[in-house]
Each structure stands twice: as structure tokens, then as C-alpha cells.
Amino acid sequence: MLLKIAWRNIWRNKLRSGVVITSIVLGIWAGLFVIALSAGLNEQRKVSVIENSISHVQYHHPEFLKDRNAKYVIDDIESVEASIQSDSTVLNYTKRGLVNGMASSARGGNGVVISGIDPEMEARVTTIGEKVVDGAFLSQEGRFPVYIGQALAEKMNVHVRSKIVLTFQDSESEIVAGAFRVAGIYKTVSKKYDEMNVFVRLSDLEKLLHTDNGVNEVAVLLKEFEVIPPFVERQRASYPELKIEPWDEISPELGYADEMMEIFLYLFLGILLAALSFGIVNTMLMAVLERKRELGMLMSVGMNKARIFAMITFETIAIALAGGPLGILMAWLTIVYFQSAGLDLSFYAQGLEEFGIDPIVYPYLEFQYYWSLAIMVVIMAILASVYPARKALKMNPAQAVRAI
């Protein structure tokens, strides 16, 4: 009976209730979409770094990460490869030789990280080979080809088939220089990455280093994120002499951003619902004051305070439930649409590139947040009903029935 009365009471003033319900719908819809947009930006940045560079797990010589000297190679590379290949959770892996050096042309030079790769293996692990804007990715053909970023090509004023010189130190700290011909130019979402990274064939790098094993890094791509921790534990037990790290240890800022994003989402939801609750409190307080005489009459004829409190609470919950589910549904439909179509933020492209984010953003929100918000809406409504309900209970029935 109280639920039926509460539902009818909120529609006694249709305009006021309609405005509050509309504000709840729009607030939840906009809030969830902004949250999904933020989560999508964070997810895209993480995926971009993993797909273009670090993968899920990396192996290094412990000393290599300290000064990146070419002499710190992975000695037992055949055994490591065999172990990786035999693991059912592995999707693919690649080997890399890494040296810091200088890329120079007739028009200028720039400090770079030179990655010696097997083109076929690299293509199965990262998407760097798909980022070609001119020329082609590295192949087994040709003499000393190099694959460079568009930002570096523009800075050095080179194009496909131009010659550049790569200079670096070998394992004996001797200066080595090699002339390479630009085979292809790539462009990722990060201009800084494009300016700082060049790719050559691992076999060519090993020739210049005068070694049969120039592998400083092994990058592994697993089938899913959930299998990363147990895989790392198994490999660390098998190869304690190597530094084996998952993606969130290789790039701590990515893992930290993931943790902070979850805190941000719930904090933002809390602030949003707190703001909406003030509107609900104000509406219910006005309703209580307008019905002062009515409430006094109900108390005079014997309705106890618990039922008065319950009626006000049910009215508040009814307002929240009239707007909350609709707002969540609208947000879900909007997010699902832009998840497939993408949101074009090309007018912010330059700024987004600084953070390694593609200008086409795909909002993303895990389903658990919809349920969390639904529960938070009910809790918010209950809390918002306390003050108006207490105001009603403090009324003196004799004075209330004489109120004008």
C-alpha cells in the first residue's frame, strides 16, 4: 500500500518530479559516457604500447636494463625459445637486438633506439609492421634496409630509398657505423616513439656487432591477460639468471594508470550521485513542506512515525528508480554505438599523439560498473530521503493540521 501511495505522490506535481527525473537521466547518461570515454582512452593507450612495443612479457640479461650495453645478451637463447614454444598459453614471441645510437643523414641527425628484429616474428607479436605510410616493412630481401618513423623522416628530411647512417657502440665499446637504405616509413599514434625508434634486421645488426648472438630482448605475446602472472612465475623459476617482467613492471606507469582509473571511476560516480542527491533532497523537502497539513492529518489519525518515514523514503527511491535505469540504458546504448563506430577527436589529434593515443577513441566500460551504479543509485536515494523524512517526523500534528 505504501509503495502505491508513494508512486502516486511523486506525480502530484508532474513538472517538478519530471524535471528531477530528467536531471537524473541526463546526469547518469552523461556521467557514464564520460567515464567510458576516459576508460577507453586509457585502454587504447595501454593496448597501443603493448601491441607496438613491449608485448605482455619481456626477457633480458639483468645488467642490460641498467646501461643497455650490447654485450649483455641472452646467452641460452635456444633453451629460452624452446621453453616459450612449448607453453600452451603463448600466442607468439619475437627476438630483438637493442642498441642506443645516432641516425644521421645529409640534413641532420637524431638519437635513436635501434631495434634489430626478425621481420616475420615481429609481425606476429606487434603491429608496427602495419603502420606503414610509405614504402614497405622490413623483408629478408635487400642490403641493410631500415624502417623509420615519419617524425624522424621529416626531421632528417629523408624518404623511401634515401640512405642514412646508424652509429652505435658494439660489445667492446667500439664505435660502429653502418649505411642503411630506408625501406619504409611508419607512423604510430605517438610522435615521440616515431622519432626515437628505428628498425633493422637482426642479422644485419649482428653483422655490424661481429657476433652470432645479438639478442638482448625476447618479447612474448600471450593469449590473454589472466595467464600472464602464472606464466611469469613458471619462467622465472626456469630461468632465475634472467630478468623476466610482465607489462606492468616493464612500464609501471601503465599499471599505475590502470589502478588509478578504477579509483577515478568510482570517485567520479560518487561525486555525480552526490550532486544529483542534492536535487532529490530539495524536491522531497519541498514536497514535505507543501504537504505539511496532510502529514499532520495522517499522524493525527494514528499513522505511526515509522510508516511516515517509510512513505517519504519510498517516494525518494521511486524518483531515483524512475530516472536511474533509463539513464543507465541510454548510456549503455550510446557506449555500445561508439564502441563500434568510434568517436572522432581529430581536432585534438596533436595533443593526443603526445600521450600515444589514437584520435579515434572507442569508449569502453566493464559491465560491473553498470550494476555498481544501479546499487549506488538506490543507496543514494535512501540517504537523500533521511533529511526530508526527519523533517516530516519533527512536525507537531496539532500545529501541522492548522498550517495554511
Helix-then-strand count for the chain, H and E:
16, 12
Q: Which residues pair with 243 in a beta bridge?
A: 60
Q: What is the DSSP string of 148-206?
A: EEHHHHHHHT--TT-EEEEEEE-TTS-EEEEEEEEEEEE--S-HHHHHHEEEEEHHHHH
Q: How many residues does the chain have?
A: 404
What cell does 118 get? 626478425
pLDDT digits (tens, 9 = 90+) for 200-243: 999 999 999 988 889 999 999 999 999 999 999 999 999 999 99
What are the residues whose beta carbons fall under 8 Å from the beta carbon of 103, sequence distance 6 or more?
A: 109, 110, 111, 112, 114, 148, 152, 156, 164, 165, 166, 198
pLDDT digits (tens, 9 = 90+) for 355-378: 667 778 889 888 888 888 888 888
3-state secondary structure of 190: coil
Instruction: Specify whether the CB–CB gap between 276 and 32 falls below 8 A.
Output: no
pLDDT digits (tens, 9 = 90+) for 80-129: 999 999 999 999 999 999 999 999 998 888 999 999 999 999 999 999 99
How much is the pTM? 0.75
Mean pLDDT of the chain: 87
pLDDT exceeds cutoff 60 at 404: no
pLDDT digits (tens, 9 = 90+) for 188-211: 888 889 999 999 999 999 999 988
pLDDT digits (tens, 9 = 90+) for 168-178: 998 888 899 99
pLDDT digits (tens, 9 = 90+) for 8-27: 777 777 888 888 889 889 98
